[in-house]
Chains A and B, each alone.
Chain A
Amino acid sequence: MDSNIVGVWIAAFLTLGIMSFLYKDNPWYKFSEAIFVGLSAGYWFASLFWQSLHAKFWTNWSPAVQSLFQGQFDYNLLYTGAGILGLMMLLRLVPPIGWISRWPLSVVVGGTAGLYLINYLVSNAIRQIGSTIQPAVTFPESIGWVQSGGVIIGNVLVFAVLLVSLGFILFGRSSTIDLPTPTKLFFFLIALVACGLGTFYSLSMPLNLTGLIIFMGVFCGLIYFFFSKEHTGFFGGAATVGTWFLMVTFGASFGYTVMSRMSLLIGRIDFLLVEWLKVVK
């Protein structure tokens, strides 16, 4: 029998075992889980031994030691320090001097924090500030600043009318604002006309508000993550807007990531149907 076929059947058996968790916890899942955990732990041990201890430490350190015996200094001899720190980690196995294992931990945590400080500062802060600085509004064509001002004011007015109209449409139906029916109808008609005019106007001379939206999002987001002041008053309002931006971002990210996760499922289904059952070619 082809050994590959045996492998495919074992893989299919374990795949279905893990998927059986969707029904409930069961012996098949427990068996598959134990195999998965045991195999992966063993694999990672071997992988880390060869890729870290051997490839990064031993292959650099041992030639350096040989060079030292020949009277030459090799900078790779500095790996001795790393080796000593690694041995100190193992001292945890000797309870009386187990406290020494904290030293290499301190080196790892402190060294990494310092190493990543610049990377994070540049990628997460400095470049973001530079990218946020852009015109809050841009125009579809080159026009003078007087016309630009007119377009801005006009767009803001249309936006305000739309908001007010929407408010009347919504609150006009509520019991808290009890308006007579003709008045409601009047406002409703005004709202319809405003919406129509606004749509027409926006289509004829729309403003590109991308810069403004990015500015609002970043500014309000920064306020949300500002911890030295209580979120009350204007600060609280801006922080709430920041939360909206965060939630909209999360929603978009959720959908995007779910789609990418589907590829994992498709990969396993593809394995079952194509490689195992061969019902799809």
Chain B
Amino acid sequence: MCGLFCVWKMLKLKVAIFTLLFLLLSCFSAVAQTEEEISDTTASEEPSYRIPKLAPVTNLEVQDSPDDAGGEIELTWKLSADDTEDNGLVSKYVILRSQNRTSDFHIVGVANHQDTSYIDKGTQDGTEYYYKVVTFPKYEGEVRLTREEIDPLMDEFPEFTELGIKDVSMLAEYDRNLAAAFIDEILGISAVAGPVKSSAQWFNSKDLDTFIIGLVICTSVVIFIGLARGGRKLFLRRIGGLQAIENAIGRATEMGKSILFIPGIQDMDDVQTVAGITILGRIAKTIAEYDTKINMPVSRSIVMTTARETIKEAYLSAGRPDAYSDDMVHYITDEQFGYVAAVDGIMVREKPATCFYLGAFFAESLIMAETGNSIGAIQIAGTAMPAQLPFFVAACDYTLIGEELFAASAYLSGEPKQLGSLKGQDVGKVIAMVFIIVGTAFATLAAVTGSETFLEITNMIKSWFSA
């Protein structure tokens, strides 16, 4: 019995010890678990970003934009030390402007990272401005602000307002914690630069090359006009299409049919329309002499007025003012395809013997020329619209290509002004040919030999023609 009692007591003691050990282990486990949980909780509360305070831009300089019409100020700076080409921390530079050195700055623009300049195009001439540039960080976190979170930010962080950041939507790419830390810990704010005023310049020195070339050509034109007025006979080569004009008018006269003249669909502010109307003057004179009919539907009111004046004068100079009628020129509509529909109708109903298309044309060129071709009219066209020339070349009997239209105008009118202008332009072409030959020669030598000197000469010549 005593033995049994001893055994029972020993078992009880062991159970007690095991129980005690179990309890101790459980406590340690619980404590460890709690610490782990606390540790996890602490970790989750830490922000998910790691962005150091950004270095601001340096050497911020502001000046009135040179060679402009005013209203622009140019800012230049040295990049932030954190804005490197590879893995830089900067996402953009926000430009702030104020009329006060210490406050009231507001955003006027944003420059990309790696940009070292910005032009503020919204200034008022004569007003003093101060600028500073704020460096904004890149953010690669996953959390984004929602609209509901953005709106209260301005109230919560008045520093944004002081920085002039009025549009909080630009913060949407950053998370809330980052936004909170912006002001003091992250943004790089430059020193204030200024004051500076914008102003307009009378001369644009960048266009000096254009001025010199224009001056040379205009001087040539004036000289040749003077020579022509002085009675000097200026030579102009004959233009193929012009020789056909008189034959075409003669054909219409013999057939007893009318002549259709289309001056394009542009107004008198287009030089092609002016050239077309000048040729009309010569054509109208021949028509008056031959007593042929002319029909001229137009799409612009001022062209109608000018054409009537031109034809009237031509009939007067031909000694037949009584034969002139205002009905020869009539307005249809300004609408492009409405005009074409009407002209096509006139063509198929009146079946003119000759059609002239001299002026500025667009999509209507082929429609009209094709209809004219289908009625068997002899067709003479002239335009400087590159996209329409192929259609006229394909569908018409004669085509005055590009500048031939203006040359024809000068050739037919024989006016000293037009002849001198054409000769002056020829001088311009000679200058162009000389520079193209010389420039191409140096460029080729540079490419073949790899010589830096030839390359510099080539670039210098090209820079004269890069207006």
Mark A residues whose CB is within 8 Å of B.
18, 21, 24-25, 29-30, 32-33, 36-37, 39-41, 43-44, 48, 89, 92, 101-102, 105, 108-109, 112-113, 116-118, 121-122, 125-127, 129-130, 132-139, 142, 145, 148-149, 152, 211, 215, 218-219, 222-223, 225-231, 246-247, 249-251, 253-254, 257, 261, 264
Q: Would A37 and B342 be within 8 Å (CB), given that A132-B436, A215-B436 are in contact?
A: yes
B143 at the interface (CB under 8 A from A): no
Chain A residues positioned under 8 Å from B402 (CB to CB): 225
B444 near A135 with CB under 8 A, answer yes
Chain B residues positioned under 8 Å from A18 (CB to CB): 341
B391 near A122 with CB under 8 A, answer no
A109 near B391 with CB under 8 A, answer no
B269 near A44 with CB under 8 A, answer no
**For the complex, what is the distance from the CA of A33 to the CA of B443, rounded to whole Å?**
57
**For the complex, what is the distance from the CA of A149 to the CA of B448, rounded to whole Å?**
8
A261 near B363 with CB under 8 A, answer yes
User: Which one, B271, B422, B446, contacts A135 given CB within 8 A?
Assistant: B446
User: Which one, B348, B432, B462, B467, contacts A25 given CB within 8 A?
Assistant: B348
Instruction: Label chain A's interface by main secondary structure.
Output: helix
B426 near A21 with CB under 8 A, answer no
A133 near B436 with CB under 8 A, answer yes
**For the complex, what is the distance from the CA of A32 to the CA of B236, rounded to whole Å?**
48
**For the complex, what is the distance from the CA of A32 to the CA of B404, rounded to whole Å?**
38
Known: A113-B271, A121-B214, A219-B437. 12 other contacts (CB 8 A): A105-B309, A117-B214, A118-B210, A126-B467, A127-B465, A133-B458, A133-B461, A135-B444, A222-B429, A222-B432, A225-B429, A227-B422
**For the complex, what is the distance from the CA of A249 to the CA of B271, rounded to whole Å?**
23
B: number of interface residues (CB 8 Å):
73
Question: Which residue of chain A is the closest to B270 with respect to CB atoms?
Answer: A112
Q: Would A44 and B335 be within 8 Å (CB), given that A105-B306, A113-B271, A227-B426 are in contact?
A: yes
Rounded to whole Å, the gap between the CB of A118 and the closest CB of chain B is: 7
User: Which one, A92, A136, A225, contacts B305 given CB within 8 A?
Assistant: A92
Chain B residues positioned under 8 Å from A223 (CB to CB): 433
B440 near A211 with CB under 8 A, answer yes
B389 at the interface (CB under 8 A from A): yes
A44 near B344 with CB under 8 A, answer no
Mark B residues whose CB is within 8 Å of A.
209-210, 213-214, 217, 235-237, 239, 268-271, 274, 302, 305-306, 309, 331-335, 337-339, 341-342, 344-345, 348-349, 363, 366, 386-387, 389-391, 393-394, 401-404, 407, 422-423, 426, 428-430, 432-433, 435-437, 439-440, 443-444, 446-450, 458, 461-462, 464-467
A109 near B461 with CB under 8 A, answer no
User: Which one, A89, A121, A249, contacts B210 given CB within 8 A?
Assistant: A121
A230 near B237 with CB under 8 A, answer yes
**For the complex, what is the distance from the CA of A228 to the CA of B393, rounded to whole Å?**
24
**For the complex, what is the distance from the CA of A253 to the CA of B269, rounded to whole Å?**
26
User: Which one, B302, B391, B429, B458, contacts A105 given CB within 8 A?
Assistant: B302
B404 near A139 with CB under 8 A, answer no
Instruction: Label chain B's interface by main secondary structure.
Output: helix
**For the complex, what is the distance from the CA of A215 to the CA of B464, rounded to whole Å?**
18
Chain B residues positioned under 8 Å from A101 (CB to CB): 305
Highest count of chain B CB atoms <10 Å: which of A112, A121, A227: A227
B443 near A246 with CB under 8 A, answer no
B349 near A227 with CB under 8 A, answer no
Q: Which 5 A-B pairs have the closest CB atoms?
A: A40-B335, A130-B465, A133-B439, A135-B447, A112-B269
Rounded to whole Å, the gap between the CB of B279 and the closest CB of chain A is: 15
A126 near B309 with CB under 8 A, answer no
Chain B residues positioned under 8 Å from A149 (CB to CB): 448
Q: Would A127 and B467 be within 8 Å (CB), given that A227-B407, A254-B394 are in contact?
A: yes
Chain B residues positioned under 8 Å from A33 (CB to CB): 341-342, 345
**For the complex, what is the distance from the CA of A31 to the CA of B366, rounded to whole Å?**
23
**For the complex, what is the distance from the CA of A107 to the CA of B235, rounded to whole Å?**
31
Q: Would A227 and B236 be within 8 Å (CB), given that A44-B335, A127-B467, A145-B450 are in contact?
A: yes
B393 near A37 with CB under 8 A, answer no
Question: Which residue of chain A is the closest to B224 with respect to CB atoms?
Answer: A228
A133 near B269 with CB under 8 A, answer no
B443 near A211 with CB under 8 A, answer yes
**For the complex, what is the distance from the CA of A106 to the CA of B101, rounded to whole Å?**
53
